[in-house]
Every structure is written in structure tokens, then in C-alpha cells.
Structure 1
Amino acid sequence: MGEMTSEGASLSAGIDLSQFYQVFFEEAGENLDSMEQLLLNLNVETADDEELNAIFRCAHSIKGGAATFGFGDVAELTHIMETLLDKLRRHELQPTSAMVDVLLQSGDALRSLLARHQGSSGEVVDATDLIATIGAFVNGQEAPKPAPKVAVAAPPPPAPAAAAPKSSNPAARLLELQVGPLADLSLADNLVELFKEITDLGTIEPLDAGSAADGFRRFKVLTSSTDNDLLDLFTFHVAREQVKLLPYGPGFGFHEGAPGAPEPEPVSDDPGYGFFDNAPGVPENTAGSNVIAAPAEATATPVATTSAKPVARTDAASKPAAAMDQSTLRVSIEKVDQLINLVGELVITQAMLAQNSRDLDPAIYQQLSSGLADLERNTRDLQESVMSIRMIPMSIVFNRFPRMLRDLAAKLGKKVELVTQGEATELDKSLVEKITDPLTHLVRNSCDHGIETGAERVAKGKPEHGTITLVASHQGGSIVIEVRDDGRGLNRDKLIKKAREKGIDAPDSMTDVEAWNLIFAPGFSTADQVTDVSGRGVGMDVVKKNITSLGGTVEIDSAEGYGMKVSVRLPLTLAIMDGMSVGVGEECYILPLSSVVESFQVQKDTVKTVAGSGRVVEVRDEYMPVISLEDIFHVPRFDFEKSSNIMVVIEAEGGRVALLVDELLGQQQVVVKNLEANYRKVNDVSGATIMGDGRVALILDVGSLVRRSRH
């Protein structure tokens, strides 16, 4: 922009827009997500007005915010998108698949542009081709030519609309919108457009062009809004004196064709998507750039006004329009993490008080005992409430797959339908972020190598459309996410043959489950050729490793010719878990309660030695490996009369082992501390916690213990 006058500088300086950037970025992201879902669900042949209007509103909201904050590149792209969507919703154009494709691509470009404005160092996006393509659709061209690499002409200023029809709505009313005084009257259209977006007015049409001497522009407004304080919604953005709402009628400004009406002022070609100086993303400085001058001294002809008096900002929050915003509160994740850590420390302190009070006589310390019981109950309730803050629905993950599958299926020439179930199932935010990539890999595998082509499916008597189903559900203290497809399934013989070629031990006596698990071997693939998408088995070892690192497990079930199911089981949260504490010597260890199957006192004759080193125990005619925690962790023993004679059976990764311990100490919720971040990686240990007596107890990695028994 050009240099601002001192008055103009004071205007922008008085409004610190940077404080609103983050809110705009978050809301723009939500609008892009909504627009993408609406476009993916749009049936171009039977699209109704409600669907098209919803998509238009998403683009309109993004454009309004981008124009306000000066993100010129975002506003330019959303402006042309809005133009196309407006023609679609007015039935001036018929929607096509090509239009949906370019709108989806534009949404991707907008994400990249917004990311760069947020400070991301991502790839620079040139939206010139997209703008040209959308512009061609707007002009009715079905097959637009590639856009030349030239600057896009600025859209013309809004043409005067036809006379507003008399509304049949008795609530509709006519108002006059007066803009000024302005040093540059070509900015009036920008102010009016922004005012319309913020206040959601109805039809606006110009009454006259004003004059340089007068410094005012006047517009006729037909609105059904019943809000008497429309101007208060606009106070944040521009000086109040520059925009006034007046009763419509004779005597209020010049009317078109009236005697003495000044000649129209030439309108600048500057589209004016943003008019705040130094805003990020603002176009480069050009000659003749427009700036807003501060209100001049009151030298213009006095104009009668009935606009409402300024009201406190808190009053605006009580209006119906703002009522919905009061139901949610945006809080940074750092604050939530800090709150969770503090609650974790509170849980530890409460456990310490409870343990130290066990020896007190409840008859003497009745009031103290009652208070401690209340503290325990309230601490548990507080803990659950705080943890629920971080819980978000699985729909956040599932919603990204329809777009991905649409593009992937088109690339592979397949017809695939996505079905999701249990989207409302909640999972900890940190887990959602980490599980997204493994799930994406599984879904891509199902589409690439699971689902057959349409011709193959029809030949097998299947529907031409393949189906991939995502299911999320709670089971005990875990969440189970299933990825199913009705494709070709896994071929047992092919898996075993491939494993032997790679030197993996794969006897014919393997169970089906063991055969399916072969695809988790590093570099294992059953694909006949490598594709740029993925191969079932390619990278599956990484998928399993990532899920295992989250304390989860992966199971595969398949029926050749009918499909395949991959089940991922995860803990609900990584911060707090239910555990069983066991004692070995003077040490205390924690086992995840979800992995504990049973416990029993062992008899000497039930433990057998195998091959001179390993030991197994017979439990109900079944032999399972025995692991002594005393031997693994080299626990020193000072009480030689005490011995490990209790077995705890744990289950993980499709296998079971019996742990040999001295005693069972009890069940409790423990706050998980990351041992690797605070100390270093320790084999067979997934974390640590602080017990009620202040001691540190290690949380055992049951998956690692099961794998140890297999080796």
C-alpha cells in the first residue's frame, strides 16, 4: 500500500488486528473442513439450494476475514470461488464434477496460503491457474484452457443492482447507508462490502457516487434484520464516524437524478481486498494505491442521524447473534497440558495422604478420615473432568479420509465407498495426532491392494463399488479402531511363499493368525509390483511399530476373496492409566490392568523346564512361557525366606506369558511419566509413576515382555 497519511496511520494504529489472527486462522480451517465435506457429499446431478448455499457461506466467510486482515492472496482466490458458487446457487450454471474438483484443489491451495501466513515454511503456492480455471467456469466454458502466467485482472466494482423489489416480508425495512467522509471515495465500496459481511445485511444498492467536495457515498439498504445496533458489530473494524445507518427517505443525502447531484467520481481498479497497512499477505506497493483517511474535521454538510448510541462491548455479547459463541472457549493445548500435569500431581499427593492415614484410628480421627474420603472422591471426579477436556471425537480423524479416497480411487480407476461408524467415540488428542498416519496407511492399502477393480468385482459376483469401513468403539479401558474392506483378502499360500523367499521361518503348520502376521516383517510385501501409492505389507512394520509405541496392539483377520480386517487397540489416554501394582523384593512394578488376564499361586510341580533354559507353566492344559521379573531386572533380595510364588498372566500382541512375582499390592490409577524424556530408554519399561509413599515405580511394557518370551 502507499504511504498513509498521519490521520490514516492513527486509524490503523488504533486497531491491533494481530490479536485476532489466530481466531481467524482457526475459523478459516474449520470453514475449509466444512466446505471440503460438503463438496465431497455433493451430488452434481441432484444438488439442492441448501447444499450450495452452505458451500457458498464457507467461502464467503473466509473471504470476509481475509479481506479484513489484509491477506490479499487468500481473498483473491476465495473471491473468484465465491463468484462461481454464487452462480451455482442462483442456477445460472449447472454444477459439474470438474467444478467440484477445482474447488477442492482451491481448498488445498487456501490451506497452504493460510499456513504460510501463519509462519509455516511450506511451498509457495501460485493460485493463478486455479483462478483462471474457475474464471473460465464462471464464463460458461466447460473445458478451460491452461491459464497464462500473467496477473489476474482485478474484478470490477460491484455493478448497481436492480431496484430492490418490495419485500413481502413485513419485517423488511429500508435504510440509508452513508459512508464518509473519505479522501478517496473508491474505498466506499470496500467498506460497504465489509460492513455487509460483518452485519449480514440484505440487498445494498448505490444511490449516488458522491463528490470530492462532499466526501460521502450513499447506499439504499433493504434488510430483514431486527438488530437495532448493527453499527456496534462494526465498531471493531473501522472508525464509527465513517459509516452511518439513516432512515431512508427524502432529505437524507443526494438521490440519483436529484437537482444538484454531483457527477460520479471515477472508481479505482484496485479490488481492495484488504486495507490495513502492514498486514501480512498484503499485495506489493503500487502506484495509486488506496488508503483510508481518518475522518476529516466536520466541514461537510451536517447530516441528520438516528444511529444508536455506542453501547458497551459486553452488551453485544448478550445478543442472539453472539449467543452461540458463548458455548465454546478456545484454550491453547499448552494450558490444558499444564492443567493435566497439575491434576496428576494432585492425584499423587492424595494417594500419599490416603496411604499415610491408613494406620490412624477412624474413631479418633473421624473428621479427618471423612475429609480424606471426600478428597479422594473429588480428586477422581476432577481427574476425569480434566482428562475429558483433551478427549476429541474420532470424526476428526475419519473426516480426512473421504477426500483422500476420492482422489486415490480416481487415480487407480476404482469405485470405492467409505462407511464410518462410531465417529463420536472419543480419544485423547495426543493419540489422535499420532494414530492418523498409521490409519492413513491402512486405508490406502485397502484401496490400492485390497479392493479389486470394478470388472474383477463384477466377475466375482460382487457389487462394482468396493466398500471400506472405519469403525471406532470403546472396549473396556481401550478404544478399538477397525479398518475393513470387502476386497480380495490375504492369500495364505502366497504369504508363506513370500516369507520363505525372504528367509523368514514359515512352516506349513502355521496358524492363519501367524500367517497374517507375516506382513508385519520389515520390507515384506505381497504386491506383484511396486506402486507409488502403497503395497499391502510395504511399511506395515512401521505401522505396527508406531502403534506399539503408543501402548497399542494390531490384529489382522482375513478371508480370501471376501476381505480383510485390521483391528487397532489403543489406550484411551497416555497420561493416566489403570494399573495393577506387583512387588518383587523391595521393588514395585506396575502392569497395565487392561493386559492382565488372571493371577494365581503357583505350585512347584506345575513349572517345567524346556530345552535346559526356558520355563513354562501348565494352566488348564495349556503351557505358557514363564518370565521372572526378579531375573530380568536383577532385583536384589534381602529377605531370603521370601520367594516368587505368584503368577500374573498378561496378554499382548496375540500371545500370553506368566510373570513370576512376590506379591500383588493392589489396583490403582497411576499418572504416567515419560521415562525416556526424563532419563533414558529402558528395555521392557514403557514409563514410570510416583506411588503414594513417594517411591518411583516402573510401568512394564507388556508387549516387549511377550516378544522376549518368543525369542
Structure 2
Amino acid sequence: MDISRFHAAFFEESREGLQAMEAGLLRLESAEPDLDTINVVFRAAHSIKGGAATFGFRAVTDLTHLLETLLEEARAGSRRLDGASVDALLEAVDVLGGLLQVAEHGGEADGAALNRVQAKLQALLDGAAAPQAAAEAPEESAPDKWRVGFTPEPSLFMSGNDPLRIFRDLAEHGELETTVDDARLPPFSQLDPFEAHLAWDLMLPGSVPRDAIEDAFAWVDDQCALEVEAVRAETPAPAPSLAAADPALPATAADPARHAEADSSIRVAVNKVDALINLVGELVITQAMLTQRAEGLDPVAHESLLSGLAQLERNTRDLQEAVMSVRMLPVEFAFSRFPRMVRDLAARLDKKVRLRTSGEATELDKGVIEKIVDPLVHLVRNSIDHGLESPAERRAAGKDETGTVTLSAAHQGGHIVIEVGDDGRGMDRERILAKAAERGLQVPDNPTDAQVWDLVFQPGFSTADTLTDVSGRGVGMDVVKSNILALGGQVEVRSTKGAGSTVVVRLPLTLAILDGMTVAVGEEVFIVPLNMVIESLQPGPGQIRTIAGDTRVLRMREDYVPLVNLREQYRLPSAANASGNPIAVVVEADGRRLALEVDDLLGQQQVVVKNLESNYRRIPGISGATILGDGRVALIVDAGSLGNVAPAPAAAA
């Protein structure tokens, strides 16, 4: 059998295992070690080792063998995982991740790093283990036999794993007696392989260590019900209760909650989900076209048809929301990388830092999560490097010497708000203004705090006195803002000197659907993203002025904003039925306001976004396209880039 087709599942599960190992090791370092956490880390390492051995990834197998040997000593109570042990294990997790990357995508492994971490682990194993008090307890005599009740779940067979490997492993320790209980199988005529269960009753010699038995099942402990019982000659062996898990083992599939969770999820390739979303988008467009075609029908004569179309619209909307939710992931996928990063960065900068997170279950589109990680990394690094003081400075200021960095996420309307904050020194308003003057940046008279804080997003802006390999070169904050704006989001800063700073990032929940305002420009229809629209108005006499020869501005109360004529911008002819009374749609993008001059407002609607660049080419001032209910293509206005695009010569009326 060609087992290479199971590679993708192995690598995906291994990545999850690495994350579990890292999270568990960080918990062991920050709190009193507990057996449950050690078991989580051990099971992840053991599972990776088993898969790597199956596929012949020798380097991965050898390294995980050292890892699980060290962890096994901790499980048995013969070793305490101190700081040095956790450091070595975390370094091994990093190297293991690199080996898996090479195994999946090819390339050369870092042999020096592998040799270094193997030497560290071996040195720990060769050293004197710190015995625990439990080790001094009188040793219980070995049983005559071990009785094992094993009931695999159907998902174990469907995942491509080979449960018979367990029997081969157990047989290496001594004579293995097996009995199959088929009482739970329904009649053959009703047999469903997805529901069928077989139960095995296994007997092993008492000389086999119990740990060896548990290790054989560790890689499937969430896909089976398991019980291990000691059988002694003087006591009758009770029949194993195959529905109950051994209390000495970590939670297994016998735990109803965990079992239900395991059975309720499947792995699906992202491209399949994207194809499904695209098809649903086409269905939404078709439904809108049918609804528009039916608008002129007599509601009495065509009552049944119109009722069916209304039902179709409701069902289509529900289907769209359900399919879109498939791509929604908890923001924890982005937050999970920060505990390790904060730990390592604090050590490098000789600072004490605690990380607090909240709202990890808040869901966000997978595509948005992938693109927001880098900006969040910049913000967290800046909070630790620039925001938090050294322990000595914090003590002098009457603060806890351990600084706090917070990461939170929450839904607000159709957006998600992510905040990155710290309780450090806060921003120095006067220092920022002085740096801005030194660089010749334009600053309004009597600027507000928000306008001052916004200066830190200028390219190359930095108030750092010295450069470090962490930050201080003025590279990063401008990238943060541009990346967030590219996602259709917004960013703002709040800061209080001496109390800390918070960066607030507001993002759309998904990039596939957009709430927009439809506007007419000439004979064409455009979509203006609704989250950018501030207001719309019909300019009165004297509200539009021309300055510097050809720059038009719109007077709004006590302020002037640039006025961009979309017809001229996109080289469109005037509409034959244009009223001559243009409308200004005021939008805010890139932190500044802009007025878009259009011929008419058509309404608001939710549209399915199509990538124009991949289907045609990149067009300045346009961020995408959609298909309207009448079948026409409408372009989506990129208000953020309009101010940077030179308007084309006006077309003849």
C-alpha cells in the first residue's frame, strides 16, 4: 500500500502536536509541574514519533525518542523538569519543527542545531535525575497478568492509521493473548462500517511494565476506549468495562465530551472550502438576478413564484452564512504563537513580562488571521522593547517589576477588534513632536493626542536612542498600518504617559463578502465599502472650491477635504440622463478624509468580492469587483489609493 498519501494528515497532526508541546512546556515553566500537562506533551511527542517511524523519517524518530524518554522519567516521578530541562525541550521542539518542514517540503536540515539539541537532551538523561518523594514508596509487586480492554472508534480506521501496530508492539514484550468481542456488531444486513465497533480483550504477562502498555496506546488515546487491569492469582479478574477509561491515563475517547468533539470534526483541504465558497457566491449572484427579473411581475398573478423567490433568498442567505462560517477560525490560532515569543524576547531584553490574553474563541476568517499575524508580531515586539521598562525602572516608578502585555479580541458589529496593550511607560508626546520636527514631517497646529500618536506610523519614524536587533530602526509600524489597511481595517493608538499604550486594530470578519454603497458614475455602477463611508451630501453653492490651480476641495463645516471626481478618475463619459447636481460621498481611508463625486446614490447591498487582479490585472484605485443582480460587473472603489492616483484627463461630455 502506498502510505505516502497519508503524509498530509501526518504533517498537519504533527504541527498541532508541536503547538501542544510548546504550550505545555510553557505551562510547566510558569507553574508547578502537573502530571496532566506532562502527559499532554508526552503524548504529542509519542504520536509524532509513531507517525515518523511509519513513514521512515529517521531523524524525527530519533529526536522524539530522546524527547519522550526524558518526559517518561518526568511522568514516572524520577525527574523534575527544571528550567534547564524546559529550555532544552523547547529548543528540541524548534529543531523538530525544522525537521518536519524538511521532510514535508525538502531541503537541508540544520545538522548543527540537531546535534546540539541531541547532546543537551542526552546530557540531561545521563545526569542524576532528581528523585521524587513518591519514588521512595515501597514498590508494589508485579501482577500475574495484565488484562487490557481495547475498543477502537471507527474514526481510527478511517484516518489511515493501523491499529494492529499496537498488537505488534505489545507482542514484543511477551506472549499476547487476544479475544475479539463481536457482540456489539449489528446483524450483517444492518452493518454500517462507520458505526461498527469491535472490542478486544488482551492478556499480557505481569512482567511487562505498565508504562510500556500505556505507551503502545498513547498515539490513539483519543480514538479508543481503554482499560488496563492488574490480574492476580488470589483475586478473580473482573470483566473489563470497555466503556470506561483507566483513571491513571489522561482523558481518552471514553470521556463523552472529548469523544463527541473528536467525532464532530473532519479535515478538509482549504482549496475545497474556497471552491465551495465561490460556488455559493455564484448562487447568491444568480438568486439576486432572479429577484431583480421578478420585480416587475404582478404580485397577485405570480404570488406563488414570488413567494418561492423570497424563500430562495432566505435559504441562499442562510447557506452563504453557513458556508462562510467554515472558514472561520478562533483567533487563538494567531494568539497561540505569542507565549513563546514573549518568553524568548523578555529573556533577550532582560525584562520580566507576563502575557495576558482574552477573547481567544472570537472567530475570524482564516485568510484574515493569516495576514494579521505579522502586524501583531510587530506590535507585541514594540510593546516589550519600547513600551515596557526594565525591572529596575518599574520598581523605581512604584510598579510591579513584571510588566504586562495584553492581547484581546472581541466582535463589534460586523468587525473584530484586536487590542495590543502594555502597562509600560506610555508614549512621550513632546519627544514624538520633536522627532517629527527634526524629520520635517507636517504636523497640524495644536495637534490632538490621536494626531501625535499617528506619527509613529510614518515610514522610518522612531524615537529609539539606540538600535537593537529587536526594533528601533523605524521599520515595522508603517508596515503594520499598511497591512491592516490592505485588509480593509483601521488602526488607532491610545496612550497615557507612565501608564502604558494600547493599539486598537479593527478588521472585517471576512474578505469574501462586503457591505457596500452602490453609486452611479456615468453609465457605470461602483461599490464604495460601507465601512469607509462617513456621510453623503449634495454640495451647495460655494461649498466646492478650486485651489492651487486645479485641486478641488469640498468645504465641510469648518474643514476642507479633497474632492475626487470618479468620472474623471476612471475616464468615463457623462451619463446621458445625468442631473447635473453631483453628490459627494465622504469616506475615510488611510487616516484621512476624501470626498468622492458621483452622479447618484443607488442604495446599499452586500456583495460577493471577486479578485480582479487574479482574473484580469491590477487597476489603480480599484480593489476588486462583484457581479450585480442584473449581471453587470461593478468595480469596488479603493478609496485609500485614490489620493495617490493621478486623475486621468477628463473625458468629453
Residue in structure 1 matching 2:107, options 121, 141, 163: 121
Residue in 1 aligned with 2:388?
451
> C-alpha displacement at 1:96, in angstroms?
0.5
Please say if 1:558 is aligned against 2:495.
yes
- Structure 1 residues 624 and 55: CA distance shift in structure 2, 3 A: same
> C-alpha displacement at 1:524, in angstroms?
1.8
Please say if 1:132 is aligned against 2:119.
yes
Deviations along 1:663-708, whole A, 9 cap, x unmatched? Answer: 2111111111122222332222111111111211111112234677
Please say if 1:364 is aligned against 2:364.
no
> C-alpha displacement at 1:20, in angstroms?
2.0
Please say if 1:654 is aligned against 2:591.
yes
Alignment of 1:198-597 (within 5 A): 198=166, 206-207=173-174, 218=175, 228=181, 325-506=262-443, 509-535=446-472, 537-597=474-534
Alignment length (residue pairs): 564
Residue in structure 1 matching 2:50, options 60, 64, 77: 64
- Structure 1 residues 18 and 537: CA distance shift in structure 2, 3 A: same
Residue in 2 aligned with 1:683?
620
Is the 2:519–2:526 Cα contact (8 Å) retained in structure 1?
yes
Residue in 1 aligned with 2:605?
668
Residue in 2 aligned with 1:164?
142
Q: Which has the larger radius of gyration?
A: 1
- Structure 1 residues 137 and 660: CA distance shift in structure 2, 3 A: same
Is the 2:22–2:90 Cα contact (8 Å) retained in structure 1?
yes
- Per the normalisation by structure 1, the TM-score is 0.73
> C-alpha displacement at 1:429, in angstroms?
0.9
Residue in 2 aligned with 1:173?
147
> C-alpha displacement at 1:577, in angstroms?
0.9
Higher RCO (CA-CA < 8 Å; seq separation 6+):
1
Is the 1:590–1:700 Cα contact (8 Å) retained in structure 2?
yes
> C-alpha displacement at 1:205, in angstroms?
8.7
Deviations along 1:584-640, whole A, 9 cap, x unmatched? Answer: 221111011122233333322444445554444454555544333233223211426
Residue in 1 aligned with 2:78?
92
- Structure 1 residues 547 and 438: CA distance shift in structure 2, 3 A: same
Counterpart amino acid of residue 39 in structure 2: N
> C-alpha displacement at 1:661, in angstroms?
2.0
SS in 1 for 2:563: strand
Residue in 2 aligned with 1:148?
none
Is the 2:416–2:506 Cα contact (8 Å) retained in structure 1?
yes
Residue in structure 1 matching 2:12, options 22, 26, 31: 26
Q: Distance in 1 between matches of 2:31 and 2:287?
A: 63
**Alignment RMSD:** 3.4
- Structure 1 residues 196 and 108: CA distance shift in structure 2, 3 A: farther
Counterpart amino acid of residue 484 in structure 1: G
> C-alpha displacement at 1:395, in angstroms?
0.2
Residue in 1 aligned with 2:135?
none
In structure 1, stretches of 5+ residues that fail to align are 1-14, 144-160, 176-193, 208-217, 233-243, 250-254, 257-316
Alignment of 1:580-659 (within 5 A): 580-610=517-547, 613-619=550-556, 623-639=560-576, 642-659=579-596
Q: Distance in 2 between matches of 1:496 and 1:132?
A: 53
Please say if 1:38 is aligned against 2:16.
no
Q: Distance in 2 between matches of 1:37 and 1:428?
A: 23
SS in 2 for 1:118: helix
SS in 2 for 1:577: strand
Deviations along 1:454-504, whole A, 9 cap, x unmatched? Answer: 001111111111111111122222222111111122222222222233332
Is the 1:205–1:220 Cα contact (8 Å) retained in structure 2?
no
> C-alpha displacement at 1:86, in angstroms?
1.2
- Per the normalisation by structure 2, the TM-score is 0.79
Q: Distance in 2 between matches of 1:610 and 1:247?
A: 93
- Structure 1 residues 469 and 106: CA distance shift in structure 2, 3 A: same
- Structure 1 residues 389 and 122: CA distance shift in structure 2, 3 A: farther
- Structure 1 residues 628 and 522: CA distance shift in structure 2, 3 A: same
Quote the sequence identity (%).
Answer: 53
Is the 1:115–1:122 Cα contact (8 Å) retained in structure 2?
no
SS in 1 for 2:296: coil
Is the 2:353–2:404 Cα contact (8 Å) retained in structure 1?
yes
Residue in 2 aligned with 1:235?
none
- Structure 1 residues 196 and 73: CA distance shift in structure 2, 3 A: farther
In structure 2, stretches of 5+ residues that fail to align are 131-138, 150-161, 186-199, 208-252, 647-653
